[in-house]
Structure 1
Amino acid sequence: MMSLDLPAAFTLDAARRSGVRKDQVYGMLDRGEIERIGRGVFIRSDVVDPAFISLAAASAIHPASTLCLTSALVHHDLSDAIPFASDIALPRGVRHPAGFEHVVWHSFDDATFALGREFIDAGGGVRVAVYSAERAIVDTFRLMHREGDDVAHEALRRWLRRRGSSPSKLLKIAAAFPKALPKLRVALAVLL
């Protein structure tokens, strides 16, 4: 099977650099060995965790791709939402990949983009980035006008009930986001 020579998530350009021709990639696609997730990006869905397929494909194009907002809250079990699409952040100014059906793209500031990024194994040797629980909470407070104040407050309540949650760690991350810090301080004062 040709797909074993390729990573679990790859671009058409990466396949060519590995010595796999375009017609061979499309042959694998026709045989169901791989799936096309976006324009020019493919994945071996039999080895990648279904929860991270879009993120793994996005990471094959842009390694900076990071699961964020509601999708990150769900990953950290801080929300019961069932997102129809994955929330994926890229640094501001990076072009969002085309052809992804179930992704909501977000552009985050370069200066704070790496803050709270953690890496996990999505299966098949694919490592993807997810914002930490603390960063996801801060972003939800920061973007409360879009995400909803109920989502932000519920995530914070769940996080505070966890053993080892540290409000000082949360506030340290929030300090990098001047718009989120006051809202978060007020919410912590009410809940603590």
Structure 2
Amino acid sequence: MKYLIVGLGNIGADYHHTRHNIGFDVADALAQKHNVVFKSDRLADVAEVKWKGRVIVVIKPTTYMNLSGRAVKYWLDKEKIPVENMLVILDDLALPLESIRLRPGGSDAGHNGLTSIQESIATNQYPRLRFGIGNNFPKGRQVDYVLGRWSAQEEPVVLQKIDKCVEIVESFATIGLQRCMNNYNNLTFPL
């Protein structure tokens, strides 16, 4: 059984550890836990995790967020992985920082990475793990907030959620999306 885990983010030091790059941070934590390293490859940095008889291909697209779909389509096709075995990890403004949500599909909710993926694979029915980043910003400052770094107060919750997301990825590959949703969607991470 093969799975594709897609951590969304932007390449470059300016974006490192920003809210918008949480997908990269979860992918890095997963690779670190399993002692594998990312290698630069076509359209993405790629690592391969072996877990309980499963092969988990982890990618961090190097296309920038707005073109993430190009990398997703390439790696789905190259690795011959069905869409239902893909999990996309992304930041979500609509969820409070205390929350994470697994979903089997749905709208892109204005997230450029999801828009690109939907256009590239011609469906919005693919599993995603939405990492709540909250929306604590003044009117007109959304871009600054999303591309900003975590506050000292947020950092402990973020690290706790990253660890939980690594566990969710492992569970997704072993028990499937539905059971993962039942096990994890009601968790909260108090500030």
Q: Normalised by the shorter chain, which TM-score bucket?
A: under 0.3
TM score, norm. by length of structure 1: 0.27
Specify which structure has the higher proportion of helix.
Answer: 1
Structure with more contact order per residue of length (Cα contacts < 8 Å, sep ≥ 6): 2
TM score, norm. by length of structure 2: 0.27
